[in-house]
Amino acid sequence: MTTPGNQELQVKEKQEVASTAEATRPGVVFTPDVDIFENENELILLADIPGVEAEALKIDLRDDTLTLSASVEPEDITGEEALLTEYQSGHYYRQFNLSEIIDQEKIEAQLTDGVLRLTLPKVAKATPRKITVQAG
């Protein structure tokens, strides 16, 4: 049991996407885990997509919806007998609705060691200024 002052790291298994739509390709589809951080100028989204190569990752932005999709092919291990297999390969899929505060033209993506980092800059706010009143 954990107490508020003593949080233990809890392992979370990959979760398969529950969908009522028909699949168009074989294999399991996972929802990647994400962490989202915010600062004054941007949102940072970190998505866990182990085994994904940059060429297999698709990031689509359409109608204020950001879609992440990727595929991981199983390792081709010939001539060896599997004693234990815990790593699952398949497809990753997740969507996010973007608000009007995100400057969609300036979104950047970087993939490093199975972690996708999306930088979502905020729209520049109008800078405060004094308005001179003219008589007349």
Any domain includes 35: yes
Mean pLDDT in residue range 8-22: 50
CATH number of the domain that 59 lies in? 2.60.40.790
Q: Per DSSP, what are the bridge partners of residue 59?
A: 68
Tell whether pTM > 0.85.
no
The total number of structural domains in the chain stands at 1
CB 104 within 8 A of CB 61: yes
Any domain includes 135: no
Percentage of the chain exceeding pLDDT 70: 79
Mean pLDDT in residue range 29-47: 93
The DSSP line for 70-118 is EEEPPP---S---S------EEEEEEEE--TTB-GGG-EEEEETTEEEE
Average pLDDT of the residues of the chain: 82
Is 80 exceeded by the pLDDT of residue 44? yes
Mean pLDDT in residue range 31-57: 94
pLDDT at 74: 80
pLDDT band (50, 70, 90) for residue 15: low
Any domain includes 94: yes
Q: Which sign does the torsion angle of CA 114, 36, 24, 15 carry?
A: positive
CA 44 to chain centre: 10
Is 90 exceeded by the pLDDT of residue 21? no
Is 90 exceeded by the pLDDT of residue 63? yes
45: domain range?
26-73+88-106
